[in-house]
Amino acid sequence: MQRNGYPVDVELHDPIYAHRDGICRDLISELDGGWYGVYRGGSFKLGLFEAYLFDHRIEWPRTVTGQLDLEDDTFKDMCRRYRELEDLRQLRKSLSQLRGKPLIIGTDCRCRPWLHPYRQLTGRHNPSSPDFLLTRAQWMRGLVKPAEGRSLGYLDWRSQEVHIAAVLSGDKRLLDAIQTSDVYAELAIAAGWAPPGATKQTHPAERELAKTCFLAIGYGQQARRMAIRTGLNVIRAESVIRTLQQLFPDFYAWSERMINVGQMYGYLTTVLGWTFRTTEKTKPNTIRNFRRDGLRTAA
């Protein structure tokens, strides 16, 4: 991708950034006006957002200083519970990127992002968001334009991390569930959210909730944080954690063992040889995150 780049529709890209001030005003007027009312003078106002949350009885996560947590990951989690906030999240993301630098496009109408190869501790690439179109707001992907007579495909892995984790942990029940059924639907059924025989097509919302819980639990998220993310109360979140432990005990034991190994020996190594040194101050979830990224890198 660095050498060849990806083709960009310059005839669409250049006018967008030439008129971005007007576009930003129109976006705020259309999406914020009459719906959220949290922008004044083109700027997001924390006090107005807090008032919106109070009026709509939305309990929002806060930082250690007591301020509302406005990170995009937090917005993404909350939008799973309150889908009416998704337009606001996309508005904030779009305004931020429109007000930033435009794509760096070569004379051949191709963008060549610096991928920061092997930048992360696990050996994963870490492309810079301003240069890498796929990490920008989703609507900007429409700027990709293959040459006439050519096409482009954007491919993603299916159940990538959980499949690798099943193999590495030796959890045969989890591996069987992946290969013969739908592991997320199975968790939804076991948790009592869906009837026996439920599938992605028959119960998409319940399966999506189970998927969110499975991935969160597998990477160490505790009941309180998972309750905020999913809308479940803390008691039900704790029940889901116990259900997952019972469904796939070998996977859960392996996940816990990785923390113990990292703390006992002072380091962890991915299957591709990338090493992370730990100390007594290293938090357990930091070790989990290293293992998580290591799974992605292994693919």
Per-residue model confidence as pLDDT tens digits over 248-278: 889 888 888 888 888 888 988 877 788 888 8
**Phi, psi for residue 85 in degrees, rounded to 5:** -90, -5
Task: Quote the mean pLDDT of the chain.
Answer: 85
Cα–Cα distance, 95 to 2 (Å, whole number): 27
| Domain residue ranges of the chain, discontinuous segments joined by + | 6-143, 160-298
Quick one: pLDDT at residue 295?
Answer: 58
Cα–Cα distance, 1 to 114 (Å, whole number): 9
pLDDT confidence band for 188 (50 / 70 / 90) = confident
Say which residues have a Cβ less than 8 Å from residue 173's Cβ, sequence separation at least 6. Answer: 247, 248, 250
pTM of the full structure? 0.70
Cα–Cα distance, 221 to 244 (Å, whole number): 13
How far from the centroid of its chain's Cα atoms is residue 180's Cα? 26
Helix (H) or strand (E) holding 111: strand 110-111
Best-predicted range by mean pLDDT (36-40, 56-60, 134-138, 289-293): 36-40
pLDDT at residue 138 tops 90: no
Helix (H) or strand (E) holding 276: strand 275-277
Quick one: pLDDT at residue 132?
Answer: 84
Nearest Cα neighbor of 299 from 159, 91, 171, 191 is 159
For residue 285, give Cα distances in angstroms to 216, 233, 290: 11, 22, 8
List residues bridging with 43 in a β-sheet.
40
DSSP codes of every residue in 141-182: GGGB-PPTT--------SSHHHHHHHHHHT-HHHHHHHHHS-
Q: Which CATH class is domain 160-298?
A: mainly alpha
Q: Which two tokens stand for residue 202?
A: 């028959």
Q: Give the position of tokens 């923390």.
A: 259
pLDDT confidence band for 236 (50 / 70 / 90) = confident
pLDDT confidence band for 294 (50 / 70 / 90) = low
